[in-house]
Copies of this chain bind each other. A is one copy, B any other.
Amino acid sequence: MESWTAAPEDADTQMSLHETLVARLRQLMIEGPLASGQRIPEAELCRRFGVSRTPLREALKVLAAQGFVLLRPNRGAIVAPVDPAQIGPIFELKGALERLIGLTAAERVTPADLDALAALHLDLDAAVRRSAIEDYTRLNYAFHKALARISGNALLCESYETLQQKIWRYRFLVNEDFSRVAESFAEHEQIMIALRARTPLDLAARLEAHNQRTCDAMIEAARKTLADSGAPER
């Protein structure tokens, strides 16, 4: 709970105040403490972070531009509601990016990249064997982020990361889905093979399929979750 006031890891670089606020607020929304649809009173956040309203509002504007908060004129900001109906469109777009990542990464990957990814892949394997879902999710995120980097397209990386962060907010819906983890790792094996073989079309297809299956699993999990609790959070 005190993680509110503690900055994660930006001690060294001189970030302007509003920038750190952007990071911390986004973290709170992604990690959960700021629930979907919840109102965000400026005054309270100012007290929490010990800053004035000016940098806080600047941070909120940035987060609104990134789609994490909703600014309603004269009516304050709310955490952008997570709408299960948006899972499909988000993954649809991500699929297009995954394909491009596959096409380009297969051609531009270096041995060093392969080593780094292989290390992550091993960590993923260990997480699967330990049934450490939380670790797996985190490592999976890092794996795909690293893969995006290999594409060599900074803009693509940035867009991809933004999408991943959007999706991350829905992950609580599939937290308990153990079976998907094993399946997911099996797909990762194939992805690594395609990457080592440097076969663009194959890698792209596998990434797209991986994305599609993850999407299906998440939609199914959302359906179940929402079916259980008649009325979700308000």
A residues contacting B by CB (< 8 A) are 14-16, 18, 54, 57-59, 61-62, 64-66, 71, 73-74, 86, 89-90, 92-93, 95-97, 99-100, 104, 153-156, 159
A contact patch SS: helix
Contact B14 A73 (CB under 8 A): yes
Shortest distance between the CB of A135 and any CB in chain B (Å): 29
A154 with B89, Cβ < 8 A, contacts A62-B61, A65-B66, A73-B16 known: yes
Indicate if the CB atoms of B15 and A73 lie closer than 8 Å. Answer: yes
Q: Report yes or no: B159 in contact with A92, Cβ–Cβ below 8 A.
A: no
State whether B89 touches A155 (Cβ < 8 A).
yes
**Contact between chains at A93 and B18 (CB < 8 Å):** no
A95 and B100 alpha carbons, distance in the complex (Å): 9
Which one of B54, B62, B71, B96 contacts A99 once the chains associate, using CB atoms below 8 Å?
A: B96
Copies per complex of this chain: 2
Question: Is B16 a contact partner of A153 (Cβ separation < 8 A)?
Answer: no
- A58, chain B: closest CB distance, angstroms: 5
Contact (A155, B90) CB under 8 Å given A15-B73, A61-B18: yes
Enumerate chain B residues within 8 angstroms of A58, measured Cβ to Cβ. Answer: 57-58, 61
CB A91 to nearest CB in B, in angstroms, measures 10
B-side contacts of A97, CB under 8 Å: 93, 96
User: Whole-angstrom distance between the alpha carbons of A54 and B54 in the complex?
Assistant: 8
**Considering the chains assembled together, what is the distance between the CA atoms of A71 and B61 in angstroms?**
15
Quick check: B73 and A153 within 8 Å, CB to CB?
Answer: no
Cα A100 to Cα B57 with chains together (Å): 35
